[in-house]
């Protein structure tokens, strides 16, 4: 559960960014956050992950307050954030260093996560030898191997070409909610309304300055979802109109 307010303090003064932003991400729920650029989505993810402290309010994870970075919350970034001088398996192993496991066990867990994301056989590839889609799969494996309860994703498909993004989107739910994954909730920031409808159980719309939650919209389409389905497009159109009305009113 999240309920926070936050301002940046710079030499230019105090800039309120989030005001009373509050929502829940339940068990087995995929929640998307959608908002105009500069509204504070990335700031909100930093607060949820414990990297930034809210001025007011708190983030509760299974009833416990998040007071700093925790292995229970993993993050995936738009630009993958892999170390170029490490191989795929070494990048994934990095997320296990805090666990003080024997080296072989670390390697075994990293390898099995790479298999889960479809990269079995590519363990020794360096990021530069992989496509964007493969790099993002490594980042997903690295996020999952830490055994998080919550997975945060900051525009995870935005750097991928359309076809690669479509393929990875189709698989991502099966991967993050698979038996091998410990993830219970996913919170994704996205600008892409079709993507949000394809993946989400709930959409949280932020708007205004400072940003507040202007609407929360459940997406109740059966899965698997296809953008070629007319009811899918009706939901997309409805969400577009909710977003434009709500964001306009919040200005």
Ligand X SMILES: Nc1ncnc2c1ncn2[C@@H]1O[C@H](COP(=O)(O)OP(=O)(O)OP(=O)(O)O)[C@@H](O)[C@H]1O
List contacts with ligand X (CB under 6 A). 8, 10, 15, 17, 35, 37-43
Pick the closer one to ligand X by CB: 18 or 197.
18
Pick the closer one to ligand X by CB: 8 or 85.
8
d(CA 146, CA 144): 5
Question: CB within 8 A of 238, min separation 6: which ones?
Answer: none
According to DSSP, the β-strands at 202-207 and 2-10 are: unpaired
For residue 211, what is the DSSP state? Answer: B
- Phi, psi (5° rounding) for residue 94? -50, -35
User: Closest distance between ligand X and the C-beta of residue 151, in Å?
Assistant: 18
Pick the closer one to ligand X by CB: 114 or 188.
188
User: Closest distance between ligand X and the C-beta of residue 115, in Å?
Assistant: 33
Pick the closer one to ligand X by CB: 15 or 97.
15
- Phi, psi (5° rounding) for residue 19? -130, 110
d(CA 75, CA 42): 11
The three-class DSSP label of residue 217 is strand
User: Closest distance between ligand X and the C-beta of residue 189, in Å?
Assistant: 7
Pick the closer one to ligand X by CB: 51 or 149.
51
DSSP string, 108-166: HHHHHHHHHTT-TT-TT--GGGS-HHHHHHHHHHHHHHT--SEEEEESTTTTS-HHHHH
User: Closest distance between ligand X and the C-beta of residue 33, in Å?
Assistant: 9
Pick the closer one to ligand X by CB: 136 or 190.
190
User: Closest distance between ligand X and the C-beta of residue 10, in Å?
Assistant: 5
Question: CB within 8 A of 172, min separation 6: which ones?
Answer: 140, 156, 199
User: Closest distance between ligand X and the C-beta of residue 23, in Å?
Assistant: 16
């Amino acid at each position: 559960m999240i309920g926070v307010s936050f301002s940046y303090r710079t030499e230019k003064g105090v800039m309120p960014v989030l005001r009373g932003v509050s929502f829940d991400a339940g068990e087995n729920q995929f929640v998307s956050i959608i908002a105009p650029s500069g509204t504070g989505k990335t700031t909100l993810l930093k607060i949820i992950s414990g990297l930034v402290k809210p001025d007011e309010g708190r983030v509760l994870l299974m009833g416990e307050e998040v007071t700093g970075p925790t292995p229970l919350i993993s993050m995936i970034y738009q630009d993958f954030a892999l170390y170029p001088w490490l191989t795929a398996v070494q990048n994934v192993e990095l997320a296990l260093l805090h666990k003080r496991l024997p080296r072989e066990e670390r390697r075994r867990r990293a390898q099995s996560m790479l298999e889960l994301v479809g990269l079995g056989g590519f363990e020794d590839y360096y990021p530069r030898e992989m496509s964007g889609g493969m790099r993002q799969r490594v980042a997903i494996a690295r996020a999952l191997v830490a055994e998080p309860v919550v997975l945060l994703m900051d525009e995870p498909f935005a750097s991928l070409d359309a076809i690669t993004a479509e393929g990875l989107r189709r698989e991502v739910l099966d991967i993050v909610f698979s038996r091998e994954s410990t993830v219970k909730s996913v919170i994704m920031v996205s600008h892409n309304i079709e993507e949000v409808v394809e993946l989400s159980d709930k959409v949280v719309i932020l708007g205004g300055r400072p940003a507040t939650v202007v609407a929360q919209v459940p997406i109740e389409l059966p899965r698997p979802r296809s953008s070629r389905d007319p009811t899918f497009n009706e939901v997309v159109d409805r969400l577009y109109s909710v977003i434009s009305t709500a964001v306009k009113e919040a200005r």
